[in-house]
Chains A and B, each alone.
Chain A
Amino acid sequence: MSQVNRISGGQIDRTQSIRFTFDGQPYAGHPGDTLASALLANGVQLMGRSFKYHRPRGPLSAGSEEPNALVELRSGARQEPNTRATVAELFDGLTANSQNRWPSLRFDALAINDRLNTFFTAGFYYKTFMWPAAFWEKVYEPIIRRAAGLGSMSRLEDPDEYDKGFLHCDLLIIGAGPAGLMAALTAGRAGARVILADEDFRMGGRLNAETYAVGDQAGADWAAAAVAELASLPNVRLMNRTTVVGAFDHGIYSAVERVSDHLPTPLPGKPRQTLWRIYSAHAISAGGATERPVAFENNDRPGIMLAGSLRAFANRWGVAAGDRVAVFTNNDDGLRSAKDLQAKGVDVVAVIDCREGGDLLPGIRHLRGAEVIDSGGRLGLKSISVRQSSGKTEVIRVNALGVSGGWNPNVNITSHHRSRPEWRADIAAFVPGAGGPDNLISAGAAAGILSTHGALATGQAQALVVLERLGRSAKPAALPKAEDAPIAISPLWYVHHGKGRAWIDPQNDVTIKDVKLAHQENFSSVEHLKRYTTLGMATDQGKTGNVIGLAVMAELTGRSIPETGTTIYRPPYTPVAMGTLAGRSRGKEFKPFRLTPSHKWATEQGAVFVEVGNWLRAQWLPREGETHWRQSVDREVLATRKSVGICDVTTLGKIDIQGTDAGAFLDRVYANTFSTLAVGKCRYGLMLREDGMVFDDGTTARMGEHEFVMTTTTANAVTVFRHLEYCRQCLWPDMDVQLISTTEAWAQYSVAGPNARRLLQKIVDQDISDVAFPYMGAGNVTVCGGLRARLFRISFSGELAYEIAVPTRYGDAMIRKLVEAGAEYDAVVYGTETLGVMRIEKGHVAGNELNGQSTALNMGLGKMVSKKKDSIGMAMAQREGMNNPAGYRLVGVKPVDAANALTAGSHFLEIGAAPIVENDGGWLTSMVYSPHLGSHIALGYLRGGDQKIGRRMRAVNFLNKTDIEVEIVSPHFFDPEGERLRG
Chain B
Amino acid sequence: MIINHPILGPRDAQEFVYLGDANLINRPDGLTASPQEMHDYVYLRTNPAGEHRELWYHEQGDRSWLVVTRNTVTHEITKVELARDVARQMGRSK
Contacts and interface: CB of A to CB of B under 8 A. Distances in A.
A762 interface: no
Contacts of B85: 733
Contacts of B42: 690-691, 876
Interface string B72-93: 0011010000111101100011
Contacts of B39: 876
A538 interface: no
B24 A730 contact: yes
Interface string A844-872: 00000000000000000000000001111
B87 A733 contact: yes
Given A729-B83, A876-B42, A252 B29 contact: no
Interface in A722-744: 722, 725-726, 729-735
Nearest to B66: A729
Contact of B25 (A250, A251, A690, A731): A731
Contact of B75 (A249, A279, A661, A878): A249
Given A279-B2, A876-B38, A879-B35, A733 B88 contact: yes
A874 B27 contact: no
17 contacts: A250-B1, A250-B75, A252-B1, A279-B2, A664-B94, A718-B59, A722-B57, A725-B65, A726-B19, A733-B92, A734-B92, A734-B93, A869-B31, A872-B30, A875-B31, A875-B38, A876-B39
Given A249-B1, A722-B17, A725-B57, A730 B30 contact: no
A731 B27 contact: yes
Interface string A867-896: 001111011101100000000000000000
A661 B93 CA distance: 12
Contact of A730 (B31, B33, B87): B87
A376 B79 CA distance: 64
A664 B38 CA distance: 22
Given A249-B2, A734-B92, 9 more contacts: A249-B13, A249-B75, A252-B12, A417-B74, A726-B57, A870-B31, A871-B30, A875-B31, A875-B38
Interface in A667-709: 690-691
Contacts of B77: 250
A733 B93 contact: yes
A725 B55 CA distance: 12
B88 to A, nearest CB: 5
Interface in A715-769: 718, 722, 725-726, 729-735
A160 B37 CA distance: 58
B83 A730 contact: yes
A874 B94 CA distance: 18
Interface of B: 1-2, 12-13, 17, 19, 24-25, 27, 29-31, 33, 35, 38-39, 41-43, 55, 57, 59, 63-65, 74-75, 77, 82-85, 87-88, 92-94
> Taking each of A661, A718, A869, A875, which has the highest tally of chain B beta carbons within 10 Å of its own beta carbon?
A875
A871 B42 CA distance: 14
Contacts of A718: 59
A851 B87 CA distance: 32
B1 A733 contact: no
Interface of A: 248-252, 279, 417, 661, 664, 690-691, 718, 722, 725-726, 729-735, 869-872, 874-876, 878-879
Contact of A875 (B1, B17, B33, B43): B33
B75 A733 contact: no
Nearest to B34: A875
B2 A735 contact: no
Nearest to B75: A249
A729 B29 contact: no
Most buried by B among A722, A872, A874, A878: A722
B68 to A, nearest CB: 12
Listed from nearest, the 3 A-B pairs whose CB atoms lie closest are A875-B30, A870-B30, A250-B2
Contacts of A279: 2
B15 to A, nearest CB: 13
Given A722-B17, A725-B57, A731 B87 contact: yes
A932 B39 CA distance: 47
A730 B81 CA distance: 12
B28 to A, nearest CB: 8
Contacts of A729: 64-65, 82-84, 87
B30 A732 contact: no
B55 to A, nearest CB: 7
Contacts of B38: 875-876
Contacts of A870: 29-31
